[in-house]
Amino acid sequence: MNMMSEAAVEKALDQKMNTVPFKMIGKDVSVYYGEKRALFDVNLNVRENTVTALIGPSGCGKSTFLRTLNRMNDTIDSCRVTGKITLDEGDIYDPSIDVVELRARVGMVFQKPNPFPKSIYENVTYGPKIHGLARTKAELDQVVESSLQKAGLWNEVKDRLHESGTGLSGGQQQRLCIARAVAVSPEVILMDEPCSALDPIATAKVEELIHELRTNFTIVIVTHSMQQAARVSQRTAMFHLGNLVEENDTDKMFTNPDDQRTQDYIMGRFG
């Protein structure tokens, strides 16, 4: 009786998640760095307007998978990707796809805040200018204000938009990088351990921001912190040694995971 109800709850959850369509679909994704294989046939789908957290011990391939989603691995010479990844049904590794256009649709925020050594204003307008998203000064001003507002930075920097972006604090720099990514109006934002270089207060702000961004964007976040994954994500995927161990609703993942390895990792038995 008890067993039955648990199964029913699971089914209901699955059905609830099933109603959310897939934004990106990864099928049999493998990545090689030269001779070394870093990812083994990963099948992982990213749902629309959902925060998907990728967790796992260091070197498990979670960042590698993240970087395949906007082909940032292309910048590494020895890197080779096999399998298929689609964004809204379009294969992103298709030769006809312009990688520049892809990265405009799938933005990225990096581990270490990396604002350009330019003013805050120029940091935000960098993407829109390149992609021709805004023509007039007024339009650019509008983009800067709305992006900084979305990134929760507007009130802190609105009086010094023309000062250097590198002069901000670490947490502000990271939110500036998020604003910079948001300014291009991407559909998906990839975040590679965005809080690992920040202090707890700055981390809390960025996490809150991720929560708000979910309404407009699909977010994939790599994190080392289990608590962070539990706090910000709806779906969680666990990687181990280049394999996808388990992908599940975050609630279920942290209370009742299907795989013993996930259980062990979450309990802190390895990693």
Partner 1 sequence: MNAPFILLLVLIVGLVAYLAGRSRAFATSNGKLSILHSLPGYHGMYAAICAVIPAAIILAIWALAAPAYIDGSVRGALPEAVHSQGAATTELALGQVKSVANGLKLLDEAELAALNNGSANLRDVLAAKGVPLAGAGEAYMIKSAEQFNSMTSTSHILMAVAVLVIAVAGAILALRGITAPFRARNQVERVMLWALMLASSIAILTTIGIVGSMLSEAIRFFNSVSPASFFFGTVWDPRFAAAGSEATQGQFGLLPLLAGTLYIAFVAMLFAVPIGLFAAIYMSEYAQPAVRSIAKPLLEILAGIPTIVYGFFALVTVGPFLRDISAQLNGLVTGSYVSFIQAQSVLTAGIVMGIMLIPFVSSLSDDIITQVPRALRDGSLGLGATRSETIKKVVLPAALPGIVGALLLTASRAVGETMIVVLAAGVAARMQLNPFEAMTTVTVKIVNQLTGDLEFNSPQTLVAFALGITLFCITLCLNIYALYIVRKYREQYE
Binding interface with partner 1 (CB under 8 A): 70, 72, 75, 77, 100-104, 107-110, 112, 114-118, 126-127, 130-131, 177, 180-181, 184
Q: Are 53 and 229 in contact (CB under 8 A)?
A: yes
Residue 258: CB minimum distance to partner 1, A? 33
Helix axes 120-130, 170-182, angle to 10 degrees: 20
Residue 108: CB minimum distance to partner 1, A? 4
Q: How far apart are CA 129 and CA 269, in angstroms?
A: 48
Which CB atom, from 109 or from 161, has the smaller least distance to partner 1? 109
Which CB atom, from 122 or from 246, has the smaller least distance to partner 1? 122
Residue 94: CB minimum distance to partner 1, A? 17
Which CB atom, from 50 or from 73, has the smaller least distance to partner 1? 73
Which CB atom, from 75 or from 155, has the smaller least distance to partner 1? 75
Residue 71: CB minimum distance to partner 1, A? 9
Residue 177: CB minimum distance to partner 1, A? 7
Residue 128: CB minimum distance to partner 1, A? 9
Which CB atom, from 118 or from 214, has the smaller least distance to partner 1? 118
Which CB atom, from 184 or from 245, has the smaller least distance to partner 1? 184
